[in-house]
């Protein structure tokens, strides 16, 4: 199973500066508070394996009619009572044509028991090759972004994405494809039952919040995301964040993303979310 190396104390302290350097911007002093946050990230992370992705040959497209496929997606998702069952349900679902050309079903990464859930938009090329979300340059940037507020990606977060199958040529998913994948993501969140949800990218936020508002409007707001009747908690704090791909193309908006990260940090601290970087209380 592919696992990213844990952040060291030395690299964690420089994570935010490295993030800005990726954009060719002048690094700045983090200040004593943020340096302390970054330095609090520990070397070791206790891993809870997520279902191992299986690399398979391209499948024959046997997608059902849209109405039938959506009903089946909803039925399959709601029938799942565990994350492992949900992964198997996704693997068995042939109602979305994207699955036919994908190498893997991109399900999750990180630690399933983590109290922070990070949700991206669409599986990319590197994600499809490995079977885990947030790989490649975008994943590296996300790791630095999380580390800048003291979060260890592999220990403190549970990561997934809205569209688990890479669209051909990395094109945008259609409205129908989004609708077919949404029931599985909603159930994924309910089963994971996090205390805080970070919706990364406009498509993720629009889909989960059932809104047409863009990311620029949504990023300044906080949401109470319902977790369903079968979840451990009734709701989770939710917030939007620019996607790493967007920030790599528009580095000038990293200042806004930093503001959003600081707001998220303050909220999860107030909620008492357990993280290795802050109190070492979870998974130690």
Instruction: Give pTM, 2 decimals.
Output: 0.79
Return the axis-axis angle of helices 66-79 and 175-192, rounded to nearest 10°. Answer: 10
Here the tokens at position 81 are 């009572």
Query: What is the predicted pLDDT for the residue at 21?
Result: 57
Query: What is the per-residue pLDDT across 224-261, written as a single tens digit (0 to 9) for each?
Result: 999 987 556 689 999 999 999 999 999 999 999 999 99
Could you tell me the domains of the chain?
Answer: 9-50+106-271 (3.40.470.10)
Here the tokens at position 197 are 């949800």
Average pLDDT by stretches of 10, the chain with 284 residues:
45 53 49 52 48 53 70 98 98 97 97 98 97 98 98 98 97 98 98 98 98 96 89 85 98 97 97 75 39
Residues of the chain by 3-state class (helix, strand, coil), percent to 5: 45, 10, 40
* H/E run at residue 118: strand 116-122
Query: What is the predicted pLDDT for the residue at 284?
Result: 35
Query: What is the per-residue pLDDT across 138-147, written as a single tens digit (0 to 9) for each?
Result: 999 999 999 9
Query: What is the predicted pLDDT for the residue at 46?
Result: 43
């Amino acid at each position: 199973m592919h696992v990213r190396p844990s952040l060291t104390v030395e690299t964690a302290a420089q994570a935010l500066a490295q993030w800005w350097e990726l954009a060719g911007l002048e690094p700045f002093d983090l200040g004593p508070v943020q340096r302390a946050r970054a330095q609090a990230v520990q070397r070791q992370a206790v891993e809870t394996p997520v279902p191992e992705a299986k690399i398979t040959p391209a499948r024959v497209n046997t997608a059902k009619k849209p109405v039938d496929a959506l009903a089946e997606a909803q039925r399959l998702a709601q029938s799942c009572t565990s994350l492992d069952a949900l992964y198997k349900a996704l693997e068995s679902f042939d109602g979305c044509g994207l699955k036919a050309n994908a190498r893997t079903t991109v399900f999750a990464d990180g630690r399933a028991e983590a109290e922070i859930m990070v949700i991206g938009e669409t599986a990319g090329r590197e994600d499809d090759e490995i079977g885990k979300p947030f790989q490649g340059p975008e994943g590296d940037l996300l790791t630095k972004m999380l580390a800048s507020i003291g979060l260890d990606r592999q220990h403190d977060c549970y990561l997934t994405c809205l569209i688990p199958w890479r669209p051909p040529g990395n094109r945008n998913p259609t409205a129908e494809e989004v609708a077919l994948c949404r029931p599985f993501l909603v159930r994924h969140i309910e089963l994971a039952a996090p205390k805080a949800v970070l919706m990364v990218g406009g498509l993720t936020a629009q889909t989960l919040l059932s809104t047409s508002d863009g990311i620029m409007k949504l990023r300044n707001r906080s949401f109470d995301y319902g977790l369903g009747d079968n979840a451990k908690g009734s709701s989770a704090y939710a917030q939007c964040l620019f996607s790493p791909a967007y920030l790599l193309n528009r580095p000038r908006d990293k200042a806004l993303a930093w503001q959003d990260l600081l707001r998220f940090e303050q909220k999860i601290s107030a909620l008492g979310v357990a993280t290795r970087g802050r109190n070492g209380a979870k998974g130690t």
